[in-house]
Structure 1
Amino acid sequence: MVNEPYSVCVYCSASVADPATLDLAARVGAEIGRRGWQLVSGGGHVSMMGAVAVAARAAGAHTVGVIPKRLVHKEIADVDSDELIVTDTMRERKQIMEDRADAFLTLPGGIGTLEEFFETWTGAYLGVHDKPVVVLDPDGHYTGMFTWIEELRQKGFVGRPALAKVALTHDMDAAFAALRPAP
């Protein structure tokens, strides 16, 4: 039996060119590699998605990219991935990413990143999986969203058990500790 390394699925932007967020993605990828973990990503070689994968590989991580056919050219498929899985649909992509991951880390991103994050978080809350769900937000990208979610909690739409299924942090060390909690 082959023991695969601990796998972290990273959700992040495939469109932003901001140097600070690209640096964050590269630091996250490097840390995944430094820990001997495996990266599961959206399979694109652009923006933060590309930066995290390039840095993870440079640090020795095995990388798994999962990309739908429709995005192979738009997100420039990461053909340097150790495994590049091309799917027919976005739903198939997300299922493979979820199946291949032991934990989920969300970095700054847009509606695609949010959709992946919310689906993963909801899955944890509903008991579909029991994998850590972590948001690393060093610059307050998600502050407004979590303020709104707290308002939803106060109005009874989101319960504390759901909130307990996601770890929000501004600190990379804390994020990595939450990704692999002590047994």
Structure 2
Amino acid sequence: METKQQSKANPASDGDPSHTSLEARLRADCQPASHLEEEAFQRYAWATYQATQSRKIEQLTEERWQSDPDNPILFSQMERTQKMAAAQERRADRALKALCQLQKDRFAAYEVTAELALMGSDIEIPKTMPAAELRNTNLHRTNPNYLAQFLLYDSQDLRNPPNSPSSS
């Protein structure tokens, strides 16, 4: 259960129109397709909203400091808000990078799944499997057919271990 203080800290729970419209625009661009992608998307949308708000605060503190440049407190506040805005932007960048990686892996897994289907096998590829990275690690083995064969043989070995009675 969310407290009033937590609710105030999270505009998504209050239905803040600026956060809601930003999230809708980002969702149209990012199109998350799984729960993992949705989690990464939510982190990205929230961090982007926070970065936007931080930039507004940064502008305000800079204007205040420019009106009294000799005031060390205003200068300190301006520096802190700049650091806060930079941290929020880095957070948004990391969340977007994670979302993009999940989507890249999803599309690479689609190709491998299609190859598995052509081979007559129905092995589910975990959403956390770095399919895109696996395809790029060895340039001689980058095609989806190779990964499909690897998964097929690997899963058959798991079902029938060498010392099991069914393998004799």
**Same fold by TM (over 0.5)?**
no
- Greater strand proportion: 1
TM-score normalized by the length of structure 2: 0.25
- Which structure shows the higher helix fraction? 2
Larger gyration radius, structure 1 or structure 2: 2
What TM-score results when the alignment is normalised by the length of structure 1? Answer: 0.24
Higher relative contact order (CA 8 A, sep 6+): 1
